[in-house]
Amino acid sequence: MSYQENYQKWADFEQLPDYLRQELEGMDEKTKEDAFYTNLEFGTAGMRGYIGAGTNRVNIYVVRQATEGLAQLLESKGEDVKKRGVAIAYDSRHFSPEFAFESAQVLAAHGIKSYVFESLRPTPELSFAVRHLNTFAGIMVTASHNPAPFNGYKVYGEDGGQMPPHDADALTDYIRAIENPFAVELADLEESKASGLIQVIGEAVDVEYLKEVKDVNINQDLINEFGRDMKIVYTPLHGTGEMLARRALAQAGFESVQVVEAQANPDPDFSTVKSPNPESQAAFALAEELGRQVDADVLVATDPDADRLGVEIRQADGSYKNLSGNQIGAIIAKYILEAHKTAGTLPENAALAKSIVSTELVTKIAESYGATMFNVLTGFKFIAEKIQEFEEKHNHTYMFGFEESFGYLIKPFVRDKDAIQAVLIVAEIAAYYRSRGLTLADGIDEIYKEYGYFAEKTISVTLSGVDGAAEIKKIMDKFRDNAPSQFNQTDIALLEDFELRTATALDGSVTELTTPASNVLKYHLTDGSWFAVRPSGTEPKIKFYIATVGETLENAEEKIANIEAEINAFVK
């Protein structure tokens, strides 16, 4: 069906709400094409897009269609699964509560039980709720760290991780088979609440989550002596972190926490920031201002659904340095392993997990403690799968998992990125360095001196619409078929093609990769540097990851600049 036909189908639907009809009538031809040329697709973690009218937008009908597909998947698995039901949470974005309760109404129309949070809650608490309530699935309405015009919909499996590929593929098939999203039935909300098919949840689950959080910190004596009066500035960036982070920090014994109050209230417009992304130093502007006022040691920020954590650390001159996702991962991994080793609680079969595009610095740290590093595809569900494997086979003990995109998980009572847990461990790490008369900035320097000067850079290029999708494919094809044999005057020692599941060495020999197929290319250079290229699974972007090792940090960063310039020249 053409975009014009899809548009007309919406225009002809008489029950279309006024706000969507007004948007339809105001569309120019280019906007019509982008809104209707395709259906919003499920990626590595569900679907995400602009809020608005259209099949390629997030709106009540796209949400109903997705939930109808989920309902049909659950029905195919039998009555027990329907009774176990679905946990549903949502963040502070426009239409998030509406999308959450409409999802529950679609499920109720199929006789499927749902547990819906009374107000906004973090993504990691949704993951926890799936496990705690023994539901078969979970829905999180969120667009994570994207700007205000976005919203999204993530689906979780019964282990609390994002739905694994087998069920996610089946779900996608069910969704695609629904020809008319306008015909999806909704049960009456109040009747469903009265019958118990829709159960509203809240504080009772918060309390259970916070009980589990008590085990995240490792050295309580350290916190009691050096953490109680340590000045921490926290900002939830207008999102869900305010629901739990402040309580979790107080519970752990961090008493001198200052919250950026202007960013503490939920705000779907994220009015104090251009983008609520803790990866960006710009998002820390108000936190830095407060930090200077109170002389804070560390600044922490969580994104709107509180699954990602950003950190800034005070330097010797009083300014604040924004840490990369890889630096945060390195300092957490180092501390967890060192603290457990010191306490005599580091297991012989300790294991860590990270995405294939995250720093190898953490691999070196893990190996120095006799721990095993597992590399998985991008998407935290693959780390969740490793945790499940460890528990079933009893072959390894999970210690830490992370992705360079600012996602961390310390304790596996959650099976997704958890910024609440990460806030707690970063605060403890800051107390640890304070106990030694050092700062987190000194801690990063110590790691580089011990393990080598690693530098990384991620470049995201947005290419929207029909032309953008074609351009992303063209770039991937060019790398796959015609990549140079050198970058930065250094030979490519190994090419990993995760879509073909092959690893081709410099001598031409080929071995098979064991990961699931994924459209990622990773080039390893003979000096230990590497770069990777992949389309985003949830956004109209292509991403380039560059990682180098140098004799100094400046040397490593110079290598990155050279490789980046050569990639840009190759892509043009």
Helix (H) / strand (E) element for 127: namely: helix 123-132
234 Cβ neighbours under 8 A, 6+ residues apart: 241, 245, 246, 249, 257, 258, 259, 260, 287, 299, 300, 301, 302, 423
Order across the sheet with 372-376: list the strands: 372-376, 350-355, 397-403, 407-409
Tokens 């469903």 belong to residue? 192
Q: Are 388 and 161 in contact (CB under 8 A)?
A: yes
The single-letter DSSP state of residue 162 is B
Q: Are 327 and 315 in contact (CB under 8 A)?
A: no
Alpha helices by DSSP H, listed for 152-295, are: 165-176, 189-195, 203-213, 220-222, 245-252, 285-294
Q: 447 to each of 424, 438, 528, how far by Cα in Å?
A: 21, 13, 18
Beta bridge partners of 374: 353
Round to whole Å and give the CA distance between 115 and 89.
9
The residue from 144, 355, 518, 529 that is catalytic is 144
Q: Is 460 a catalytic residue?
A: no
Distance from chain centroid for Cα 542? 17
First CA to last CA across the chain, in angstroms?
33
Q: 117 to each of 36, 64, 307, 461, how far by Cα in Å?
A: 32, 18, 17, 35
Q: At residue 487, what are phi and psi to the nearest 5 degrees?
A: -140, 140
Question: Per residue in 284-296, is it b (16+ CB within 10 Å) or e — as a string?
Answer: bebbbebbeeeeb
Helix (H) / strand (E) element for 151: namely: strand 150-156
Residue 77 token pair: 């698995």
Task: State the catalytic residues.
Answer: 144
